[in-house]
């Protein structure tokens, strides 16, 4: 990713450099053309002898080598001025770039050539050496800056990448521990609060919810084991008594009836647990109705009153007010809850 970003940045920087180079070259050429046109206008109206004397005097001045003036006859032979070779492909009255091969070293110029009425030609030129040197230094500076930026960018990307890899390794290790069954483990989060931290926080919240659900499942399993232990023990005892003590069909039927009653109770308990699960999941809440809690309690007392009388226990119902206690719920589950309390008592 770092290399991809560097390539995109490099392409953008290259396009910017080319635009700046193009604008700079256009600006320098425009300034040179303005100077060439101005100087040509001051010379072209002068007589030939004055042009020769002025160019001869200018050629003796060593400070004017960067901006040479030359006068050529009809055949292209130098008459006066700086000894430049007549351009191989002359363009008159329009600035153009050309190379002078008359010296040992080829020099590049931007010049303006004008043909006089007598057939002679005036060439005013400006050396491109400074412009080329400036562009070369600009290119070297740009190249150095690009290389430095690339090195610093790669170093920063490597540092950030190693940090991200370390965090991902820590998160992977924590996830491996969680998959092995350690639900107390959580994904590590940093102080930066970036996207990875946000994702880790969401996953940790999900793990908290999973741990809570697992605890609820454990609680349900414990409740099932608790509720099933007594009826299953009675069922086992009834079957063992039937095997050891029953001597005729009637006794077998009696023991079988006891076993069937226990099985019905177990089935009823499972049904209650399933209904509780449905309530927690919200599937059974759609069937909730308004019920009078006092009426359900009186029904439960009436149901257990005969058993209490047989056991010699006084079971009574009392209320501090005659107003109904209205709640929203499942009347069957409410009745079973109160009945379980009375039965345990």
In this predicted structure, what is the pLDDT of residue 132?
82
CA-to-CA distance for 161 and 262, rounded, in angstroms? Answer: 66
Higher pLDDT, residue 302 or 226: 302
Which two structure tokens, joined as six digits, stand for 80? 């006066």
pTM of the model: 0.43
Structure tokens that stand for 10 in this block: 């490099």
Rounded to whole angstroms, how far apart are CA atoms 108 and 95? 13
pLDDT per residue as tens digits for the range 17-58: 888 888 888 888 888 888 888 888 888 778 878 888 888 777
Residue 226 has pLDDT above 70, yes or no: yes
- pLDDT score recorded for residue 287: 67
HEC string for the chain: CHHHHHHHHHHHHHHHHHHHHHHHHHHHHHHHHHHHHHHHHHHCCCCHHHHHHHHHHHHCCHHHCCCCEEEECCCCCEEEECCCCCCCCCCECCCEEEEECCCCCCEEEEEEEEECCCCCEEEEEEECHHHHHHHHHHHHHHHHHHHHHHHHHHHHHHHHHHHHHHHHHHHHHHHHHHHCCCCCCCCCCCCCCCHHHHHHHHHHHHHHHHHHHHHHHHHHHHHHHHHHHHHHHHHHHHHHHHHHHCCCHHHHHHHHHHHHHHHHHHHHHHHHHHHHHHHHHCCCHHHCEEEEHHHHHHHHHHHHHHHHHHHCCCCCCCCCCCCCCEEEECHHHHHHHHHHHHHHC
Output the CA–CA distances (angstroms, integers) from residue 203 to 12, 165, 174, 195, 208, in the order listed: 39, 18, 12, 12, 9
CA distances from 115 to 40, 81, 165, 263 (A): 11, 16, 74, 125
Looking at mean pLDDT, say which of 22-36, 189-203, 272-286 comes out highest. 22-36
- Greatest Cα-to-Cα distance within the chain, rounded to the nearest angstrom: 158
Q: How far apart are CA 21 and CA 28, in angstroms?
A: 10
pLDDT at 213 over 70: yes
* Interatomic CA distance for residues 7 and 150, integer angstroms: 9
Position 203 confidence tier, pLDDT thresholds 50, 70, 90: confident
Cα dist. 56→22, 60, 71, 78, 197 in Å? Answer: 37, 7, 10, 11, 81
Instruction: State the pLDDT confidence band at 84, using cuts at 50, 70 and 90.
Output: confident
Asked if CATH classification 3.30.450 holds for the domain at 2-146, the reply, yes or no, is: yes
Select from 3.30.160, 1.10.287, 2.30.30, 1.20.58 the CATH code of 213-286. 1.10.287
What's residue 74's pLDDT?
82
Q: What is the pLDDT of residues 139-165, one digit of tens each?
A: 888 888 888 888 888 888 888 778 778
HSE on the CB side for 228, CA within 13 Å? 13
Burial 99-110 (b: 16+ CB within 10 A, else e): ebeeeeeebebb
Give the pLDDT of residue 105. 64
Question: How confident is the model over 64-71, as a mean pLDDT?
Answer: 79
Domain extents for the chain? 2-146, 213-286, 288-345
- Determine the angle formed by the axes of helices 293-311 and 331-344, rounding to 10 degrees: 30
């Amino acid at each position: 990713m770092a290399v991809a970003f560097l390539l995109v940045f490099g392409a953008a920087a290259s396009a910017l450099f080319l635009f700046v180079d193009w604008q700079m070259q256009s600006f320098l050429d425009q300034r040179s053309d303005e100077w060439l046109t101005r100087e040509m206008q001051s010379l072209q109206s002068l007589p030939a002898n004055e042009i020769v004397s002025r160019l001869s005097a200018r050629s003796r001045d060593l400070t004017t080598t960067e901006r040479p003036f030359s006068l050529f006859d009809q055949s292209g032979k130098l008459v006066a001025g700086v000894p430049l070779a007549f351009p191989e492909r002359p363009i008159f009255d329009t600035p153009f770039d050309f190379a002078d091969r008359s010296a040992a070293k080829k020099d590049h110029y931007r010049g303006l050539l004008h043909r006089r009425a007598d057939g002679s030609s005036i060439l005013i030129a400006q050396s491109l050496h400074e412009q080329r040197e400036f562009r070369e230094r600009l290119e070297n500076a740009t190249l150095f800056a690009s290389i430095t930026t690339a090195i610093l960018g790669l170093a920063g990307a490597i540092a950030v990448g190693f940090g991200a890899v370390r965090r991902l390794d820590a998160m992977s290790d924590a996830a491996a521990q969680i998959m092995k069954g350690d639900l107390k483990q959580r994904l590590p989060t940093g102080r930066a609060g970036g996207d990875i931290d946000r994702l880790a926080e969401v996953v940790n919240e999900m793990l908290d919810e999973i741990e809570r659900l697992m605890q609820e499942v454990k609680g349900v399993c414990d409740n099932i084991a608790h509720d099933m232990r007594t009826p299953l023990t009675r069922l086992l005892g009834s079957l063992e008594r039937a095997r050891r003590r029953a001597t005729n069909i009637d006794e077998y039927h009696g023991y079988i009836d006891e076993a069937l009653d226990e099985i019905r109770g177990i089935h009823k308990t499972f049904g209650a647990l399933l209904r509780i699960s449905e309530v927690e999941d919200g599937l059974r809440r759609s069937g909730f109705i308004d019920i009078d809690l006092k009426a359900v309690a009186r029904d439960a007392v009436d149901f257990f009153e005969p058993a209490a009388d047989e056991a010699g226990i006084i079971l009574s119902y009392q209320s501090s007010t005659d107003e109904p206690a209205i709640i929203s719920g499942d009347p069957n589950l409410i009745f079973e809850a109160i009945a379980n309390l009375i039965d345990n008592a």
